[in-house]
Amino acid sequence: MNVIILILLGLNLLQVHVNDSLNLSIQDYSEIEKLIDDEYKKGNFSGSLVIGNTEGVLFQKHAGIANRVWNVPVESTTRFDIASINKSFIAALILKAVEEKKLGLDTKLVDFLEDVSYSGTFHSSITIHHMLSHTSGIPDYDGVSDSLKEEGFLRLKRQHFDPVSYIDFISQLPPVFNPGEGFYYSNFSYHLLAIILERIYDMPFDNLLKEKITIPYGMAQTFSTTNNEQVFPRLAEAYNYDEGKMEWYRNGFIDLTLGRRIFSTAGDLFRWGQITANNELLDVGLYKLMTTNHLKSITDEISYGYGWVVFQPGDHFRMGDLGIDMPYLIHGGNTEGYRSMLIILDGGKHILAMTTNSGSRSNEMELSKRIIQLLIEKK
pLDDT at 15: 57
pLDDT at 14: 53
pLDDT at 258: 75
* Amino acid identity for residue 327 in this structure: P
The rounded distance, in Å, linking the Cα atoms of 44 and 356 is 10
**CB distance 165 to 340 below 8 Å:** no
pLDDT at 4: 41
pLDDT at 22: 38
CB under 8 A, 24+ apart: contacts of 35-44: 35/367, 35/370, 35/371, 35/374, 36/61, 36/63, 37/63, 39/362, 39/367, 40/9, 40/12, 40/14, 40/64, 41/9, 43/241, 43/358, 43/361, 44/358, 44/361, 44/362, 44/363
DSSP symbol at 85: G
The string of DSSP codes covering 1-15 is -EEEEEEEETTEEEE
The rounded distance, in Å, linking the Cα atoms of 294 and 141 is 23
**CB distance 223 to 209 below 8 Å:** yes
pLDDT tens digit at each of 379 positions of the chain: 444 433 333 334 455 554 443 333 444 799 999 999 999 999 999 999 999 999 999 999 999 999 999 999 999 999 999 999 999 999 999 999 999 999 999 999 999 999 999 999 999 999 999 999 999 999 999 899 988 888 778 788 888 889 999 999 999 999 999 999 999 999 999 999 999 999 999 999 999 999 999 999 999 999 999 888 888 999 999 999 999 999 999 887 777 777 789 999 999 999 999 999 999 999 999 999 999 999 999 999 999 999 999 999 999 999 999 999 999 999 999 998 999 999 999 999 999 999 999 998 999 999 999 999 999 876 5
pTM: 0.92
pLDDT at 13: 45
pLDDT at 94: 98
